[in-house]
Structure 1
Amino acid sequence: MVVHLLAHGTSGKSGGVYVIGGDGKRTTGDIEAWLKLVEDHEPENEAPLVLFLLDMCHSGGPARLNWQQVMRAEYRKAWVIAASEPGKLAYNGWLSQAVAQVLEWFHDDTLRVDSQLPHIPLSRFCWEVKRLVEGYVVEGPGVEQLVQTPLAPLGDDLSHLAFFPNPRYLSDEAPAKDHPEAREAAEPLPTAALDPTLAALLDEAPDFRHFMSRASGVEPFLDRIDGGFFCGRRKEVSNLADWLRGKGKALRVVTGKPGVGKSALLGVLVCAAHPALRPKTQMLWRRLVDPPPAVSKLAVVHARRRSVAEVLAAMARQWSLKLVGSHTVQDIATALAESESPPTLVIDAVDEAESPRELMAVLLMLIDSRRADGRPVCRLLVGIRPERRFAPLLRRARRARGRLDLGRAPRRELQRDLHGYIRELLSATEMYGMAAQEEAAEELARSIAHRLTRRHHMPVGEFLVAALYMRTVLDQPVPVTALGARELGAEMPRGLRELLDLDLSQRPSTPWLRPVLTALAFAQGNGMPEEIVQAAARAFRVKEREQPVLGRNPRCPTCRQLLPAQRCGQRRQHAISPLSSKPCRSATSGRWRRESLAVPFGSWRTVVDGSPVSAAVCGTPCQRGWMPGKVDQRSRVLGPCRSPVIEVSADLGVSGPQAPEIPRGQKCR
């Protein structure tokens, strides 16, 4: 519920803030009494969440009450956005104007939050309103007015404060047909070939779409679920199938370099073992030599971009634990200890969660918790990268002989599996599926598998590189001879950067693509807002070659349109972050953006109109109250958005407006 009040206000001798009505008299009770009426409502579980928008003088007091500061955010019912500081005046209905303008901007897509969020985060809404009122003050008659927003302890989860719906929210149950992102979201992973009863599952916290797409083996290649092409990993599949049958110790960890196939292995096992997916996804797992049986009480979680609280909530929901309100790992462990038998959890992409180390600690606490009979409270299968920060979990798995490193496959076995995988991918296409092209497909698959399994180390997974190269193969004519097929396979890049360069070189009609992707390669934290993508992309362009074509600035809509064209595994909705409350980290591709898209250090000294990259992003003329469409394009407010860029500049050794000379070959962190 939102209560919006535009009125005169006054302070009493006791410090209470009263509303003055149309008759010129103040109300009987002060605003604090209204707030307490909401907070003390009985029964407590029926009390509504209420946001008070107080556009009146002296209104800051009710937003800064002492008893508000000691309440836990999840129990607090009344929230206040006030037009002015305590004891100060408010002018011209600026707060009301700002609220209306911000909501209009969210509606017409001038302002945006992640399409996976059903509501606009209250913190983002407050920041935009406060910034806009500051703009009114700058343009006003020399008065001061500072909006007071709610205070909450750092780290508190405020996602339950759902006051304003997100117009860009996409639901698999009822997507808007005329919504551009609804159409785009439907294209990469169409589910028409699957049973319609799966539709209700695709938008749950477990993210079944992730496990299904990885199990298919073609998502990097075709961007959709189109049959099952999972190939190889026979020993690992047999090992984990037995583990899902209840054999062995409670902990298993699947690890390996990016793109090696961790998610694909977990995905095909989840499709076979999950009771809801098993009968509907046989096309994805039926080729397994030793598929696991259906496992009751199986919970699956895709941890990418999820908080610890979201992961715990997903566990409790899937295991049907009767817990009230928010719950801790101790609450879940206690509830599991009383169950008939230990349930099973499969969790992927722990390294891409919002707080990976905190999530790892939660998983270790679960595996250390014991039932009355001495067994762990649950069985745990984790997909994770072998990074130093996860050493406690990796050591625990190694001691239990439960660590499966997919990067240690024998070379001949890997080459055989790659050959079979590529051969099947080619056979599924119209170009190589005909009898006349069988020889070319065979030679091409053999050549690519041989090149990828040469003794030189590859920093990324061979299966991922092979699938991505198939896009380039299909853009070229089918080789007429076996020699031509072998030469095409021998030309395949062995790294993602070289593969990206090849892909971009075939797109002369999209000259802004490389600068935009280069800018996004340095996104940190909550991602990179579109204003900064715009400024950084301009600075990253190659001046001599691209300036005549590109013009001065890429417009934000152009940046949004460019990313779907970049097909190397990058997802647009996770690349440009409109200051959403979710971290900007895509899947495997999100981790290699920095490695493959980042230009050499010399490009950080690229000068555009006399300014290096750091100056192009952080040194542009700035007005405190920037309003879209109302000031010059070169004037923008970066606000808290500036910190990720400044952090990256510091990493690169950029301490001032000019970047120092950095020797070539120095490693980028």
Structure 2
Amino acid sequence: MKMLPLPDGPLGDLHRRLRDLHRDAGLPGAPHMAAKTDYTHSTMRRLMVDAATPRWPVLLAALVRLCPLAQWPLEPTIREFHRLFEAVTSDASTGTDVAPAPVLVDDPAESARQAGSTSARALVVGVNTDRAGLVDAHVSELGDVLLELNGRRTDRVHVVTDLPAADVEPTLRRLSAVIDPPDEQLVHLIGPGAHGSRSVYFAATEPADGLHLGAFLERLEDVKGPNTLVLLDIAVSASDGTHNPQRWRLLSGHDGRVAVLGVVIPGQPQLLGRFSEAVAVVLRRLHQGTLPIHPREPFVPLSYLRDAIRRELTLTPGKAPLPAHFFVDDVPVGNLEQAKFVLNRRYRPDNGVRLELAQDDEARAFLDELAAEAPALDPGHYFGRAAGRPGADVRSPVLFSGREAELSTLQTWLDEQAPATALRVVTGQPGAGKSALLGMIVCAAHPSLAALRVFGSARRQPPGTFAAAHARGLLVQEVVRSIAVQLGLGREVRAASELLAALAARPADAAVPSIVIDALDEATAPREHLDLLLLPLAALERATAPGRPACRLLVGTRPWPEFEQLIRRATATGGLCDLDEVPWARQRDELSTYLSRRLQTPFFDEHAFGEADAETLARRIADNLTDPRRNRAARGGPFLVAVLHAHRLMRAASRPGADPMSLRVPAHLGEVLELDLAARSPDRLLRPMLVALAQARGAGIPERLLRDTTATMATAFQRRSAPQARRIPRPSEDRIADLLASVSFYLRRSPGPDGTTHYRFFHQALSDYMTEHPGGPSEDWR
């Protein structure tokens, strides 16, 4: 990265120190710096190159990423940079109008309290065995990590060794009385134990001398007190050989205030401490923000913490996995999943603050949060299509242009108090602009998206009268539940028949609600959506006002034969909008207008064109893509190909010596994607990863699974030409993160059900192409 000259004063001091850190980290590029953060590489590039006043969240993310690479201590470095940042924002000579710097909170508990909660205090108890000193080392390491998590507050973390078994419970009670009100607590026990007929005893070689863990846990459950996570790392004498996994279930019938995770190791004392090592590694990564917990999660889901510890135990190089029957896993379902045991350092604050900070992928988290009550709404999908550009910065311009006639017709229909027709359908090939048109409708009308002020408020519908769903990968029941919640019909509505009955029973004078369903062709079992929901909705009348439609229904889909009945019904009432039938001349003008604006609006690592060059290029591209001789059967309508080609041109313009004006216009989606991949340095993992991403369903594929799938795909590709080739090893977290960052333009990031970030292509046509061409383009692709 070519750095700009440094200014004088506090701002220069801050950037000079940042460049020192960057140098000691090995001068990583912007994509590497952005990997595993919630920012794009263009944001990191601006931070390092522009020498301007940074935003604190971006600077903090860079510090968390660079410090381990440079081997700088994290917490002292953060405090040093915060002092430098405060000096910048308080210095009048900078000439900037910057809000006061957010206070760096050493105590994650206080940071969590700003989100309405606290973090867990901790007790670590270690009892030495004949492996002198090893337990002490594990206790010390774990205690140090927990102190970091608690801002070095020794009143919140207590580490003791060789504590008599009888003193464990009184010690915990004393700690519980220190903090008022009581919050979550974490108890970690490591040392020898004994097993009796019905339980495990800690800190003893004979049951009579130890702490009866079953009784201890039951008392924690029974006594009114905080939620507690108990972590066990215990070695017992050789068992009787039955090795029944249920042997180590230490709680039964509990109501959900105590969770237990850990190992009880029979007959192999040399393995004592392995679990504690894994806990320390996972907690340290969580503290550094390098694990992929989604920014909407204020605390780490307990299920993710459990799985991460198990993965660390299973996948540690050079160490055999622990047998399954060693594990203790008593995690109550539901109650403790959102407990505040470990703060998510990647968390972003509430919606209002998130909107103020919204830029790049932070805005995706904001849009995800808007749909928390109705996940199938998927506002990120509608906003991204309407914006007509990469990224999700809600303050950047909306580049949608054209389709005025179609947009006006649909908006007029939505505004009618008594619509003459209940059904309208938008069809067209992939990339023709169906979702962009529907995105403009939904973003301007949906009551939950009022914060997207760029779309105005003139057509905003009242709550309970407008619902939308992105049907990609969804069952009909999931779409039904989302619509019912958005229309205020209650969560008890789960079946299509129940939704139909509720809509038909609305009062005669109630407003006619509007329902938008996009990507019917990408739904799971689309025929069920058609037969159980959409066709009945299109024919539904209000029982209290016969002849009056019970709802308006707007559907976006490809014109597949199985949807002929729906399309025919819309055609009969004048409700079909076929974007493939828009005259070529109008498509050319609309495409040229869009491209001219897009080529002058850079994102990520793009370079903007001047107005004259942008208009020349836009007209040339539009002429090519709207040529009637163009292969209309090829996947990717003109608008999608234009979006991808514009990004390719603007990236090429940022490289020295490049002549983007000479780049040929691709004929179809496959060509533009293959040209981009061909221009990159060869990488045996990139195409296998893209093929794996093409198989993603729903929210997408998590990074953890993507690493395994990419290795499997890469091995299969290699063995086509060399059947005896060795298996390609599983890529590291950093390696897969760098690959994802390099193709971030093509991807959509969403929170998965486990709280981690999931990835998929931003458009189904890209998934279709990679699925059909996993090994490379066909010979006639040009």
TM-score (norm. length: structure 1): 0.61
Q: 1:415 to 1:61 in 2, by over 3 A?
A: same
Asked whether 1:495 is paired with 2:665, we answer no
Distance 1:82 1:477 in 2: 55
**Cα pair distance change 1:98/1:469, threshold 3 Å:** closer
Structure 1 residues 461-494: Cα deviation after superposition (integer angstroms, max 9, x where no partner): 211112322234446789xxxxx99x969x3111
Q: Is 1:102–2:282 an aligned residue pair?
A: yes
TM-aligned CA distance change 1:390 to 1:101, over 3 Å: farther
Q: Deviations over 1:95-151 (max 9, x none)?
A: 444333333334446643455555545444333333444579995899985214359
Describe the shift of the 1:378–1:63 C-alpha distance in structure 2 as closer, same or farther (beyond 3 A): farther
The structure-2 alpha-carbon separation of the partners of 1:248 and 1:564, relative to structure 1 and needing over 3 Å to count, comes to farther
Deviation at 1:238, TM superposition (A): 0.3
CA contact (8 A) 2:748 2:760 kept: no
Please report how far the alpha carbon of residue 381 of structure 1 lies from its aligned counterpart in structure 2 after TM superposition.
3.0
Q: 1:307–1:115: structure 2 CA closer, same or farther, 3 Å change rule?
A: farther
Structure 2 residue aligned with 1:343: 513
Query: In the superposition, relative to structure 1, how do residues 82 and 137 fare at CA in structure 2: closer, same or farther (>3 Å)?
Result: farther
* 1:186 partner letter: Q
Aligned to 2:360: 187
Secondary structure in structure 2 of the residue aligned to 1:521: helix
Instruction: Confirm whether residue 431 of structure 1 aligns to residue 605 of structure 2.
Output: no
Q: 1:585 aligns with which of 760, 764, 771?
A: 760
Q: CA deviation at 1:264?
A: 0.8
Q: Please, what is the CA RMSD of the aligned residues? A: 6.0
Confirm or deny: 8 A CA contact 1:81 1:147 kept in the other structure: yes
* Pairing 1:17-28 to 2, within 5 Å after superposition: 17=199, 24=209
- Report the counterpart of residue 430 of structure 2 in structure 1: 258
- Is residue 30 of structure 1 aligned with residue 215 of structure 2? yes
Q: 1:469 maps to which residue?
A: 645
Cα pair 2:631 2:667 within 8 Å, conserved: no
Q: Please give the secondary structure, in 2, of the residue aligned with 1:585.
A: strand
Counterpart of 2:686 in structure 1: which amino acid?
V
Find out whether 1:168 has 2:375 as its counterpart.
no
Q: Specify the code of the residue in structure 2 equivalent to 1:448.
A: N
Aligned residue in 1 for 2:21: none
Distance 1:395 1:455, change over 3 A: same
Structure 2: which 5+ residue stretches go unaligned? Answer: 1-183, 237-243, 603-607, 722-727
**What do the CA deviations read for 1:64-107 (whole angstroms, capped 9, x no partner)?**
98868xxxxxx96665435349x999962544443333333344
Distance 1:399 1:249, change over 3 A: same
TM-score normalized with structure 2 length: 0.54
CA deviations on 1:527-565 (whole Å, 9 max, x unpaired) are 343355467558868999xxxxxx999764344234444
Distance 1:92 1:279 in 2: 53
Instruction: Tell me how far apart the structure 2 counterparts of residues 276 and 143 of structure 1 sit (CA, whole Å).
Output: 49
Q: Which residue of 1 aligns with 2:689?
A: 519
Partner of 1:651: none
Distance apart, 1:231 and its partner CA = 0.8
What residue is the counterpart of 1:6 in the other structure? Answer: 189
Query: Does residue 271 of structure 1 match 2:443?
Result: yes
**Any residues of structure 2 matched to 1:285-364 within 5 Å, and which?**
294=461, 297-302=465-470, 315=483, 318-320=486-488, 337=505, 340-349=510-519, 363-364=533-534
Q: Which amino acid aligns with 1:462?
A: P
CA distance in 1 between partners of 2:578 and 2:325 (Å) = 59
Match of residue 412 from structure 2: 241
Matches within 5 A, 1:644-659: none
Q: Deviations over 1:32-60 (max 9, x none)?
A: 8559749xx9xxxxx98765545556994
Give the number of the structure whose residues are more often strand, by fraction: 2
The equivalent residue for 1:647 is none
Is the contact between residue 256 and residue 406 of structure 1 (CA under 8 Å) also seen in structure 2? Answer: yes
Identity percentage of aligned residues: 27
Paired with 1:89 and 1:419, the residues of 2 have a C-alpha distance of 71
| Equivalent position of 1:381 in the other structure | 554
SS of aligned partner of 2:611: coil
User: Which stretch of structure 1 is more off in the superposition, 122-131 or 390-399?
Assistant: 390-399
Q: Is residue 82–residue 148 contact of structure 1 (8 Å, CA) maintained in 2? A: yes
Match for 2:309 among 113, 129, 135? 129
Change (3 A) 1:137 1:92: farther
Task: From the superposition, tell whether residues 453 and 106 of structure 1 become closer, same or farther in structure 2 (CA, over 3 Å).
Answer: farther
Q: Is the 8 A contact 1:345 1:378 kept in 2?
A: yes
Alpha-carbon distance in 2 for matches of 1:84, 1:365: 57
Q: 1:173 to 1:285 in 2, by over 3 A?
A: closer
> Structure 1 residue 149 and structure 2 residue 325: aligned?
no
Quote how far apart the aligned CAs of 1:265 are.
Answer: 0.5
Partner of 1:616: none
Deviations 1:184-226 (A, max 9, x none): x8237979xxxxx999959885554543332233448999842
Q: Distance in 2 between matches of 1:163 and 1:308?
A: 36
Partner of 1:622: none
Aligned: 1:421 with 2:594: yes
Number of residue pairs the alignment of both structures matches? 552
Which residue number corresponds to residue 241 of structure 2?
Answer: none
Q: Choose from 571, 577, 586 the match for 2:747.
A: 571
Residue pairs, 1:480-629, within 5 angstroms: 491-507=664-680, 510-512=681-683, 515-523=685-693, 524-525=695-696, 527=701, 528-530=705-707, 532-533=709-710, 556-566=733-743, 569-571=745-747, 573=749, 584-588=759-763, 591-593=765-767, 595-596=769-770, 601=775
Question: Aligned equivalents of 1:600 and 1:333: distance in 2?
Answer: 43
Structure 2 match to 1:211 = 382
Secondary structure of the structure 1 residue equivalent to 2:397: coil
User: Matched residues in 1 for 2:339 and 2:496: separation?
Assistant: 23
Aligned residues of 1:124 and 1:579 also touching (Cα < 8 A): yes
1:167 counterpart letter in structure 2: R
Q: Which residue of 2 aligns with 1:655?
A: none
Letter in 1 for 2:643: A
Per-residue CA deviation, residues 619-648 of structure 1 (Å, 9 max, x unaligned), is: xxxxxxxxxxxxxxxxxxxxxxxxxxxxxx
Deviation at residue 227 of structure 1 after TM alignment: 3.8
Structure 1 stretches of 5 or more lacking a match?
42-46, 69-74, 177-181, 192-196, 479-483, 545-550, 604-663
1:405 & 1:26 partners in 2: Cα distance? 73
C-alpha distance after superposition, 1:562-592 (max 9, x if no partner) = 444436x4137469x999767643321x541
The question of 1:230 aligning with 2:412 is answered no
Greater radius of gyration (CA): 2
Q: Give the letter aligned to residue 676 of structure 2.
A: D
Rounded Cα–Cα distance in structure 1 between residues aligned with 2:478 and 2:757:
12
Look up the SS of the partner of 1:522 in the other structure: helix
Conservation of the 8 A alpha-carbon contact between 2:421 and 2:549 = no
Quote the offset at 1:261 in angstroms. 1.1
Distance 1:498 1:222, change over 3 A: farther
Q: Give the SS at the match of 1:238.
A: helix
Q: How far 1:243 sits from its partner (Å)?
A: 3.8
Structure 1's 221 and 410: CA in aligned 2 closer, same or farther, altered over 3 A?
A: farther
Determine if contact 1:219/1:225 at 8 Å carries over to the other structure.
no
One-letter code of the match for 1:83?
V
1:271-315 Cα offsets, whole Å, 9 max, x none, are 332457579646x589xxxx9674553234456688989867765
Partners of 1:422 and 1:285 in 2: CA distance: 23
